[in-house]
Amino acid sequence: MTLSAPEDAPLKLRDRIENEILTGDMPPGFRLDEVTLATRFGVSRTPIREALFQLASAGLIEIRPRRGAVVAEVGPERLVQMFEVMAGLEGMAGRLAARRHTDADRRSLTDAHEACRRAAETGDADAYYYENERFHHAIYAASRNAFLIDQCAALHRRLKPYRRIQLQVKNRVANSLAEHEAIVAAILNLDGDAAERLLRDHIVIQGDRFSDLMASMSERAGSTAAKGR
């Protein structure tokens, strides 16, 4: 299973491990043994350790001194917190995008939205997942704040696996698209307050949607558990 497909030829070690974590090949709690990884990737322990430190900084794994590294367990509570922050950041990006976007931003935003619509109409969930990502990145970019773009992209990336599950919830694609519609309108109308509010609500998990996500998660946990040790 692969998540994204850039030029995958010179993929750095860090990204390869990161992918395995994000795709769930290395489930939460999975023990990351240095020598095992080293032999598996055909390198020595040194570059492995460097990659692990970077992943630890990103919060994807947890390094306990002298006790090795494990894939970070993100419990329901922390997951909700992360989505809450994501909602805040996206709302902020939307507000800024509404009053700062350039003509080029406007175009890439509408393009991405149209691509989402096409994917939704064909009912291809995977395609929608991909185009949805493009849509959100277009909003980040339109905020014209490079630091905010970095922060949003980083958190978005970390939430990738859960977002994917989220889309499997019933009717989510149709609802998501309708929300996109309103978001685009708000940004193009330079209505920052509306864009912020709409994006916040678009991301936030609450009520039924939250329960659904949690349910999907626990199912999934059952199927992938005990891969570690």
Partner DNA sequence: GCTCCATTTCTTGTATACAAGAACGGTTGA
Partner DNA sequence: TCAACCGTTCTTGTATACAAGAAATGGAGC
Residues that bind DNA (CB under 7 A): 32-35, 42-47, 49-50, 63, 65-69
| Nearest approach, Cβ of residue 33 and DNA (Å) | 5
Q: Within 83-122, which residues bind its own copies (CB under 8 A)?
A: 84-85, 88-89, 92, 96
The partner in contact with residue 216, picked from DNA, its own copies, none with C-beta cut-offs of 5 to 8 angstroms by kind, is none
Q: Which of 12, 26, 41 is nearest to 72 (CA)?
A: 26
> Strand, helix or coil at 124?
coil
The residue count for the chain: 229
Total residues in contact with its own copies, by rule CB under 8 A? 23
* Least gap, CB of 127 to its own copies (angstroms): 30
84 binds, among its own copies, DNA, none (CB under 5 to 8 A by kind): its own copies
Q: Name the residue nearer to its own copies (CB basis): 50 or 126.
A: 50
44 binds its own copies (CB under 8 A): no
Q: Residue-wise over 118-129: b if at least 16 C-beta within 10 A, else e?
A: ebbeeeeeeebb
Q: Given the structure tokens 């322990």, which residue do they identify? A: 45
* Share of the chain residues as helix, strand and coil, in percent rounded to the nearest 5: 70, 5, 25
Closest approach of its own copies to the CB of residue 147, in Å: 4
Q: What is the DSSP letter of 72?
A: P
